[in-house]
Amino acid sequence: MKILLVYPEYPDTFWSFKYALKFVSKKAAYPPLGLITVASLLPDHWETKLVDMNIEKLHSSDLVWADYVFLSAMNTQILSAITVIARCNHLNIPVVAGGPLFTADYKKFGNVDHLVLNEAEITLPHFLKDLENGYPKHLYQTEQFATMKNSPVPDYSLVKLNKYTSQSIQFSRGCPFNCEFCDITALLGHQCRLKSTDQIITELQNIYDQNFRGSVFFVDDNFIGNKKRIKTKLLPAIITWMEQHNYPFHFTTEASINLSDDEELMNLMTRAGFLSVFIGIETPEELSLNECNKVQNKNRNLIDSVKKVQKAGMEVLGGFIIGFDSDTPNIFQRQIQFIQESGIISAMVGLLNAPTKSQLYKRLLSEGRILDDWDGDNTSNAMNFIPKMDSEKLRNGFNQVIRGIYSGKAFYERVKNFLKDFEPKVKSKNKMNATKLKAFFRSVFIIGILDRDRKYYWKLFFWSLIHRRDMFPMAITYAVYGYHFKRSYTKIF
């Protein structure tokens, strides 16, 4: 059997890093971890090939080669996924689809031959058995959650590593919290299900053996969902492995703000090589936090919490939301002020939307306020429901926030303030190479000469050389990020 694994194209968004990737001659940030995990669940004697449309074109010859096309996608990839399905239908090539896009609303995809939903560790074996017997069904789904100890090592050999800036790995699934706007618990449950420490070390070794060095993203929705396990078993083992291998990687992940309450945990993470963590801040408004049931963010000084994580040696990337029912027109300036004061350089700001599986969607549907399904882009200025605040006022306020944090002066000021005090606990062992040198000279030409914010680039350039020479490469990296973020909001600027 010949299986073609296809990952549809992402649109240009905040997290696509399209404009930043050009500086380092890469095509995409991360490979499709779900598909290469599925590949490891297939029979060993089957032929498999991966086409990630974010790094290469999907040719008709690829499709004709395949007996089946396996398709996985996130919500924001829907347009590309629909195109792939249509091409397969035209060529009479059966499509097997799974992943968040299809699991969230599978009834939209009647032209998919086989829908293998939820977690593949459970549903895929049933499909494979029926396929072997000659009677595969249209729909496979389950309300059960997989035991992560049964999850195989992803087949990294399918990945063209040199096309990506980072690699991905997963330790856990699920989240103990229940934020109203989030669909994670509906898809993956409240209980954090974990891989064993040996599984993670094996996967790290696998990535290492593929000769990759650099950034590795733990894609967990909340890496610290089970603090005891990661503090007593996982992180000590990673620290040992990293020391033995001379720190070939640095890690990033997602976590809840209560990370800041645990100094021991933060210390272990930085010793293990974690340099950054994405945290859902959402809003500085306590009423809005109450509204969306963001209990972990309530009754605390959020800026102090962010500063604690930064002081521990991890950069904080933040998510922010505008458009809660309790938001008032002063929310726009409050968000700008919070982001500037906190020193969160990569601030993902978007209007509130309701994913189909979220509690928010159910509430708004009962109130007759749902307008459409969410397109998956959490940094757009569109909403899929009728807000309490005037829609035009919300969109204008959103634009105000983006200009307030990504205009040249504001952004570079935030970078400078962050770098003044930031001290990563583990220094990167990845030395200068031709790719990094080329990226540096591109930044000088594109941002330092052609960009209208070039004067702020040069101010940061010389300030970091004089005052924080050890942070100079990071300063240039942030300048590239700022260029991307501003370009991704072109309509606003």
Contact 302, 281 (CB under 8 A): yes
Across the range 390-412, mean pLDDT stands at: 96
Query: What is the C-alpha separation between 244 and 277, in angstroms, rounded?
Result: 24
C-alpha closest to that of 327 among 422, 251, 278, 397: 397
Give pLDDT, residue 490. 75
- In this predicted model, what pLDDT tens digit does every residue of 291-339 receive, in sequence order? 999 999 999 999 999 999 999 999 999 999 999 999 999 999 999 999 9
Please give the mean pLDDT across all residues of the chain: 95
Establish how many alpha carbons lie within 13 A of residue 169's alpha carbon, considering only the half-sphere containing its beta carbon: 26
Share of the chain above pLDDT 90, in %: 91
Is residue 298 within 8 A of residue 282, CB to CB? The reply is no
Query: Is the pLDDT score of 376 beyond 90?
Result: no
Integer-rounded Cα radius of gyration of the chain: 22
| pLDDT tens digits for range 270-279 | 999 999 999 9
**Is 0.85 topped by the overall pTM?**
yes
Q: Is the pLDDT of residue 429 over 70?
A: no
To the nearest 10°, report the CA torsion of 288, 290, 294, 296: 120
Which pLDDT does position 493 carry in this prediction? 78
What are 432-453's pLDDT values in tens digits? 788 889 999 999 999 999 999 9
Mean pLDDT of 104-115: 95
With 80 as the cut, is the pLDDT of residue 185 above it? yes
Q: Identify whether the C-beta of residue 286 lies closer than 8 Å to the C-beta of residue 279.
A: no
Contacts of 394 (CB under 8 A, 6+ apart): 322, 323, 351, 383, 387
